[in-house]
Structures are given as structure tokens and as C-alpha cells.
Structure 1
Amino acid sequence: MPERPLAKTLTADPDAARPVQYDRPETMLAVVVREGSGKTSLQPERMPVPTPGSDQVLVRVQATSVISSEIASREGVSTATLPLILGNDFVGTVVEAPGAPSMVGRLVVGAYGGYGYTRPGAWAEFIVVDQPDVFSVETELGVEALAAIPGSFTAASGALRSLGDLAGKRLLIRGGTSGVGLAAATLALDQGAHVISTTRDPSKVEKLLAHGVHDVVIDDDDFTAQVRRLFPLGVDLAVDLLGVDSLRETLRCVQEFGIVCITGLLRDQTKSIRSREREDRSIPLFPHPMDLIPPTVRLTVGGVDGTARTPDLMRQWVAGVQSGRYRIPVDSVFTLHQMEQAHRRRSDPAAFGKVIVTVGDDPRTTSSSSTSSTSTEVPQPELATEPGDSAHENQE
């Protein structure tokens, strides 16, 4: 499928020495989450186009995503301060860069930096981004495939980095069908690890095996025993994406002197949505570490803060997905006007892979089995689940 032309509204200045000029509109469409309990309509509304500062750039957004923490934000139980434009992942074209005019016209990707949490995110036609948070890429990938990469690979890379050398190690990924879990699996496989991923849904076992993992464990009441049957001495390393609620079980799956990295809160967020209790990390809600951590097992944290997140690293991930070295499935693609449907799909236990939202004209769809740059048009999935009704443990 041909890639959508980039920066259609950019026009070259007759004087080649001057930067490309952009005809800035006064307003843009954006989806603003104004209150919790899922009450906010997700229909785009008109608002002024933001203005970048001297160390910022204005990006014309072409694609973003919906992740589970944004479901929690819409429910009013995450750390996001509402009202706010959400949207962590972004792909787009730089259209204004007061302090770095050479960036204008470049295709960029990015995630984190507070976007969609403490400052306006990418569920909009334009986003203002600090210069260090945008990464210029040159690729044949479409924007839908690109939008699946930055957030998930950033968090996954940081988690794996905290575990050290992976070659020949048995790595357990708890929350294996989340976007970060899928990214962690493909990165770990590339580094020579024996990957064991988890899911609550038996129908996803074959999908995880097709993703390349070596073993799949159903995450049920017999979870620890299942892992120990596969590996009597325990696994070497583990990444826990579910949160404190699952941590005790994960720690008990690890052998002596093994390491567990906690880097996600998927199950904790689900409990917050159900209980209506807002996430508050200043309140300890878990057992004393002496009761939680088995002797000789080591616990660390990783994720976004643990990754180098350099331009070279981001380009390596993009090139790796394009070549097939890395895989990241795209479950479904929606438009900004279909944000309500995108939320419902993100909440659907049947979803596998990233839920992508394109911004602007020329909407396209991506096959639910897509794992690289290949995109094929498929009907949109049936959406029967309301937000918050299903568990988010298996979704980013």
C-alpha cells in the first residue's frame, strides 16, 4: 500500500536558503478529556493551534495511539491532570521550529516527556513538542506502523536494560500481549533470550508463538506452578507489566540471584477503574519488602526512565521493524473522529497489538495480523465492549 504523502501543506520557498514555509491555520481539531468516569465525549472539538517556544517544535500529527493508561485517564483514576488532550505516541511532520529551522519538513516520531499526562498530547491535529523529544526518521513504513513503535519500544527497552545481559537467559514477560510486552519480546529475542510470555486469554497463545516467543503461560490461579513446571529452578529474569498486584507471584517464579523488573501498572489500573480509586503513588499499598521479596531475588524498576532513548536507538527500532528484525503487531486503525470506537477496541479483550488513530484525511486500516511494515485493508472490528468493562492486563 503506498504511503500517504507527507506534509501536503508545506510549500518550498523560492529562495532555497530560507526554510520551508507553512501556512498556519488558526484552529485545529483535538479530543479533550475533561472529566473522569468515562463521561467525556471523545468527539473532536475546535481549539487554537498551539505556538511553539524557541526550544520547541510544532508537529502536524499524522498518527497516534490509544493505550490502557489513557483508558484509566478517561476514567479519572490515572495520574493525568484533567482536562487534557491525551495521546502519548505521535508521528507527524515538523511544520514550525523557531530555534531549529532545519527541522521543518522532517518526519518525526516520539512519545513520553509528559505528553498526554501533564501536558497536551497527540490526540490532535497539532502538538507542541520539546526538541529533545522528537526523533527524525527516514523510512518506508506507513504512519500506522510508525505510531506503534515509539512508546512501546521506549518502555520495553528501558525494562530490558535494567536486567543486564539477556543472551541465553530465560526471560518471563508478565503482561505479554500488551504493546510493551510485545515490544519487549521482540527486542529480547533479538538479544538471544529464551522468552516466556503470559496471557489470560488462551486464544492468544498461538498469536504469541507466531510473534516468536518460545513458551506461553496462561496467567491464572495456577500461574506460579505452571512456570515452575516448565522451569523447576525458576526463570533467570522477569519483566512485570501488571503492577504491584501481581508482583509477589512474579518474584516467586525467579531463581536464586535472578532479577525482576517492574515497569507497568496494567492490572493495578484495572483495579483502580473498578474501585474508582485514583492512582496515588505516595501511598504505599503493597506489603513490606521483606514479606514481598524472596531471599536472593533482586527487584528493580525500568521503563521510560531506564532507556537511553537516543535518536540512533529510535532509528534502529524503526529500521528494525521495517526490515522484519523486530515485530510489533497493529490490531486496528481508526480516525480521530472514531476515537470512541478506538477506546472500545482498546478495552476489548480480543484486541492483540496496538490500536492506532490516524489524524487528518486519507484514513487507512491495518491488518490485525500485521507485524512489520505490511499493511492491508480489513473491515473494522466489531465493538461490543464498553470502556472499563474488561480487564486491561493484556493490553498496553
Structure 2
Amino acid sequence: MDRSLTPDQLELFEKGFAARSANRLMQNAVTQTPVDDVALDRRVVTGIDHSVSHHLDDWKVTNQKKSGRCWMFAGLNLLRVGAARKLGVKDFEFSQNYLLWWDKFERANHFLEAVVETSDREVDDRTVAHLLSDPIGDGGQWNMFVALVAKHGLVPKSAMPETHSSSATRAMNLALKTLLRQGARDLRALAAEGVAAQRECKREVLAAIHRVLSIHLGTPPQRFLWQWEDKDKEFHRDGWLTPAQFAASYAQLPLEDYVCLVHDPRESSPVGRTFTVQYLGNVVDAPPVVYLNAPMELLKRLTMTAIVDGEPVWFGCDVSKMSRSDVGVWDAALYDYAGVYDAPFTMDKADRLLHHETQMTHAMLFTGVDVVDGSPRRWRVENSWGAEKADRGFWTMNDSWFGEYVFEIAVRRSALPPELAAALDQPPIVLPAWDPMGALAD
């Protein structure tokens, strides 16, 4: 084929398209109907039974609305199970807005420190460009959630309820990004004067960030009065608590004992090794974001075992692939795009990572599993998109989808095989800032 497109080549393509009646049939269908409705494999949809053998959830789903806080919602949803049990209530929510405020403020500081560290590089250096591309998005990772709770504690939703901007973060984020990029410009200009001058400039930028966050989200409480009525109508009062005291009382899981397992099948990522990503994080001086690469079958087995033993599991995935929201289903073969387009779709998970076709985009909570002959067949998932979709907000995932599109889970270190637990003590392999395993779930 010639280097450029020629009229003769275009004519051949057009004749080839017109020669197959199936192409014209698909053209007629897709020009009038969404392609996913045409490609949907009805055999998959009708073949899914939404029941599962092990089912934990008997609570209402939460709703992140127009924000990218799924990772935070999923983490708080994991913790609220034990909190509701201790409080003796049916439904309970920690304040997502409280953690959002602290994540934004800590992340602004984290970004500005990265700018100081890289201020001797050109502005179009790949790492600097990556930092500037999204200085303060909503997305996050499991370790970032743990870092926030460890430093700032938790409060009930009543102590810092949602605001317009916590539920729709776009306008607030635009202001924050402008201020941070402007701050990056000023910090870089002060590089020759030394870190002390840069840190003084950083203080002024953070003061502006603090004002923006407080205007949009309110002011995080330092203390609050906690009292409640349980499901038996009995009244309780704990008195005035700090966020740290509330977290110590009602976060029933030892978050510091959890580790993040990932499935990264690229040849460059050996199984049984830990990884970290440059400049990934939100809290300066917190433990780094570290993953342990493990076989997919182990991720499935540990998730299944945790659910069977009564504990939901936080996980991150590429939510947009092979997904159907009206029926609340994920399946690796949900859409027959190859049949619609008469074109092969042959990339495996490693290929998709290498060629920017996939990455973690969303975090949720496994709350059920259907076990057949000791192996998982499908999974029940608590999403944070409200109760209007799927089964009152709970989705069904066929096991085929887990293998292709789930990237990471958070599990207790004690659940790991001894050889993998020992691997956590190795120095992590450092991936560049732009590696897809550094993607943030939102």
C-alpha cells in the first residue's frame, strides 16, 4: 500500500464495503440504533442468573453523583459495614465530603512538592508534563484512601454533609487546577533561589487552595457531638469526638494490615514483585503506593474466600468495557463487536495495557460470589452510582469479566501465601509516573 491514501485505494475500500450485504445491513442498523444495542449478545444477557450462593449486602447503595470519588466511596462502604453493626443501625454512611476536602488539600501539597523536586527540569520534560496534565483530579487508589484515614480520621455524614460541589466537582476542580498550574509556574521560576523561597511561595498557593475548598465544601470539623438512635429506637450518645477518635471507635477493620494485589500480565512486570509509581499519592510522607503483582487466579481465590468468610472486598477495574447499565451486567463477551464490524479484536490484557487500550478507571466493592464446586462463577458488586441502575445499585459480574478487566484488590496480608507475603518486604520496582498501573479510579 502506498504511503498516502489515493483515489484508487478509496475506490477499492468503497467497493469492498458495498460488495457484502452484511455491511449494508449493519449500516442500516447502526445509523438508526446505538451500536451497543446491535452488538449486545442476548444469549449472555438471558443466560445470567443474578442470584449468588454467598451474599453479604443488606444495605442501600451510595451515590458519588457527578464526582470521581469511587475509590473513596468504595473504601468507606467497606468500613461502614462494621460501623453500622457496632452502632446497631441498618444503614450508615461516613462523610465522603470530609475525606474529599482532605484529599484535595493533601493532594495539592503533594503536587506542589513534586513541582519543587522537578523544578530543575524543562517544562516539557515528560514527567513534568505528566504532573501538569492533571494536578488535582478526583480519582485515587486504595493506599491513598488508607493514608487519608490514618492522618485525618473519619466523621459521620451528618458532621460534614454533601454540598453541591462535592457531588459535582467540575467547577471546583477547574479553579483548583488553574491555581496549582499557576503555582507551578511560580515555584519553577524560584528554583534558582532555593527550596526555602519555593516553600514560602507554596504556603501562599496552599492558602488559596484552602479558601477554594472551604468555599465549595465547607470547613472540616475538628470536633463534633455524636449521638444516634439505633434500629430498636434506643438512644445513644458518645459525646464530643475528634475525627481520629471516631475512626478509632467505628472503623472496625485494621486498614494498616491490608495490601494491594494487582494483576499486571505485561512481560516487564514479574509476578511476585512489588511495584510503585513515581509521584503517585496524595499525602506527603505517607507510606508509598505499593502493589504486589500476583496471578489472576490468586486474586479470585482471595476475593472469594474473604466474601465466604463474611467480608466485602475493595477492588479496581476498567469499568467501561463490556458493561450494560440497564441490566447491571458485566461479561467479557457481552458485545459482539467483531460480528458488527467484521473486524478482529484480538488484544489480550497485556496488549491492552501496553497500547493504552485499558487501565483502572473505577473502584467498587465485591459483596457476593456464586461458588460452584469450589470456584467462583459470578460476582455481586456494590457500585456507587445510586440505586436507579442494576439491582437497586448492585451489579452482576460474570467471572470471565473479572479475569479481563479487574486490576487490583485490597486484602489482608495474613491471607497471602507465605512466599507472596515475604515479597512485600522487597524494595519495589519503580515505574515511571505515566505508567498505566498508576491510573486513578474515579
Higher fraction of helix: 2
Smaller-chain TM-score bracket: under 0.3
Structure 2 length as normaliser, TM-score?
Answer: 0.24
* Larger CA Rg, structure 1 vs 2: 2
* Higher RCO (CA 8 Å, separation ≥ 6 residues): 2
